[in-house]
Amino acid sequence: MAQATAVVNDAAMASFKSDFLRVLSERGYIHQGTDLDGLDAAATAGRVTAYVGYDCTANSLHIGNLISIMMLRWLQKTGHQPIALMGGGTTKIGDPSGKDETRQLLGEAEIAANMASIKRSFANFLSFGSAPTDAIVANNADWLDELKYIPLLRDVGRHFSVNRMLTMDSVRLRLERDQPLSFLEFNYMILQAYDFVELAKRHGCVLQMGGSDQWGNIVMGVELGRRVADLSLFGLTTPLMTTASGAKMGKTAQGAIWLNPDRLSPYDYWQFWRNTEDADVGRFLRLYTELALDEIARLEKLDGAEINEAKKILATEATKLCHGEAAAREAAATAQRTFEQGAAGEGLPSIEVARAELDKRPAVYALLHRAGLVSSNAEARRLMQQGGARVNDVVVTDQAATVGPADLTANGYIKLSAGRKRHALVRAV
């Protein structure tokens, strides 16, 4: 996939004239671009409209999407216009990029529900309205659903070489591994290319951004634009995000790190960033916060335990962008009370238990399960056996243990812990 000539090198990055590309390159967002000098010139000359496409396969975006959202944010902050494209149409097809297997097809209703839920995340990162740089949310179902097969083949299909399509990573990797690739999925890149051209026509969009796995799809769009409409379009991709120890970003105890607060609480979101590996602190501060670069340079030089200060700043700043200032402060305060003072922060995730039920002394393992700290009663028992379960900070290894009203602290709750880091409160109501 990597075409050596397109990969950015330091010398090229240093010479960007536009604020947009200079910020992006300085902060480490750029992996490859199709014609970075041309794009730099366009962004210097005037307002550029750019888009990123988002799948609607889940009801929330996750931190894997965050890097591209931050690019849209910087785009807007440097005087240009962002478009968040919802893949209402393409989600019906399924992007084969980076997938070994055909993914399950989602129904129309589910896609619509996911889209509505995802849209809410953008409100925190981008500003919407009617100003020239205000963000637009588009849905490719608006045009893809209307397509007619024969006209599509004649107008668009003739510009695609199957020989070329077979060399695309998304296709080639499947074929090499003997994994199935349906004709449906094979068409995905054509539709994504079509999207780009459509957005160019509708909104004057000239740039598509995305993860490095989107390079092939993006290049297809750039070429289609040139062939069908003599458009001069650009593409930009971000590096693949992994942690310093090589793990894929964003997996944790309970799954992905979601951006929607109803899937992952702001407190847990804050915790995710707080637990960043030392080696990633500088890179993450540049990518996921808007702190000044010289400040970041200072923070990432902190040694040993001192770098924890930088991690707290990272956590609070990142949470601020996603969930707002108040939620970020509350998460930070809760963490401080919980970890530094050994008390129970009021802001910890909590569940409510009826007073009458508490009188009947529910089992500790059951409460651990209900609080979401473990995914089954059996797992709760295991946790207890291994000495990882605590009630009000006291280790409980007896599986038969129960709690009652007497265990409520002066503040009116029982604190449950699974391991050193995960806590929840049980409140009696």
Partner RNA sequence: GGAGGGGUGGCCGAGCGGUCAAUGGCAGCAGACUGUAAAUCUGCCCUCUUCGGAGUUCGAAGGUUCGAAUCCUUCCCCCUCCA
387 binds RNA (CB under 7 A): yes
423 near RNA, judged by CB under 7 A? no
Nearest to 269 by CA among 310, 328, 313: 328
Q: Is residue 352 within 8 Å of residue 402, measured between CB atoms? A: no
Q: Phi-psi category of 324—alpha, beta or left, where left has phi over 0 and alpha has psi -120 to 50?
A: left
- Of 146, 176, 178, 230, the one binding RNA by CB under 7 A: 178
Contact pattern for RNA over residues 301 through 320, marking x by CB under 7 A? ---xx-xx--x---------
Q: Binding segment for RNA among 14-22, 128-136, 268-276, 348-356 (CB under 7 A)?
A: 268-276
Q: Which is nearer to RNA, 146 or 176 (by Cβ)?
A: 176
Q: Give least dist CB 26 to RNA, A.
A: 25
Strand partners, 426: 351, 414
Token output for 58: 């889940």
List binders of RNA among 91-150 (CB under 7 A). 100
Q: Which of 246, 305, 313 is nearest to 278 (CA)?
A: 305
Q: Which residues contact 13 (CB under 8 A, 6 or more apart)?
A: 21, 25, 26, 30
> How do beta strands 234-238 and 205-211 pair?
parallel
**382 near RNA, judged by CB under 7 A:** yes
Nearer to RNA, 97 or 121 (CB): 97
Nearest approach in angstroms of CB 363 to RNA is 8
- Using the rule CB under 7 A, is 252 a contact of RNA? yes
Q: By C-beta, is 137 or 240 nearer to RNA?
A: 240
* Span of 196-204, 214-222, 234-242, 276-284 interacting with RNA by CB under 7 A: 276-284
Q: Is 399 in the site for RNA (CB under 7 A)?
A: yes
Q: Which of 328, 388, 403, 413 binds RNA (CB under 7 A)?
A: 388
Q: For the CB of residue 97, give the shortest distance to RNA in the complex, in Å.
A: 17
Q: How far is the CB of 419 from RNA (least distance, A)?
A: 3
- Could you say which of 16, 144, 422, 424 contacts RNA (CB under 7 A)? 422
Please state, in angstroms and rounded to a whole number, the distance separating the CA atoms of residues 154 and 335: 60
Q: Which residues contact 41 (CB under 8 A, 6 or more apart)?
A: 17, 18
Residue 289 makes contact with RNA by CB under 7 A:
no
In the list 117, 290, 339, 349, the residue contacting RNA (rule: CB under 7 A) is 339
- Single-letter code of the amino acid located at 372: G
Helix (H) or strand (E) holding 221, with range, is: helix 215-229
Candidate segments 21-29, 58-66, 142-150, 248-256, binder of RNA by CB under 7 A: 248-256
R_g (Cα) of the chain, nearest Å: 24
Structure tokens at 13: 């990055």
Examine residue 421 and tell whether it contacts RNA (CB under 7 A): yes
Of 30, 37, 38, 31, nearest to 2 by C-alpha is: 31
Token output for 216: 């092939």
Instruction: Decide: is 277 part of the binding site for RNA (CB under 7 A).
Output: yes
Q: Give the residue, chosen from 105, 147, 378, 394, that forms a contact with RNA under the rule CB under 7 A.
A: 378
> 63-102: which residues touch RNA (CB under 7 A)?
100
Q: How many CB atoms lie within 10 A of CB 175?
A: 11
Separation of alpha carbons 133 and 73, rounded Å: 11
The reply to whether 418 sits near RNA by the rule CB under 7 A is: yes
Residue 260 burial by CB count (10 A; 0-12/13-18/19+): exposed, middle or buried? middle
DSSP percent split of the chain into helix, strand, coil, nearest 5: 50, 15, 35
Distance CA 110, CA 273 (A): 30
Only segment of 38-46, 122-130, 153-161, 379-387 that touches RNA (CB under 7 A): 379-387
Distance of CA 361 to the CA centre of its chain: 41
Residue of 180, 404, 405, 412 that binds RNA (CB under 7 A)? 180
CB 70 to RNA: min, Å: 22
| Site of interaction with RNA (CB under 7 A) | 100, 178-180, 245, 247, 251-253, 271, 274-278, 304-305, 307-308, 311, 335-336, 338-340, 365, 369, 375-379, 381-383, 386-388, 399-400, 418-422
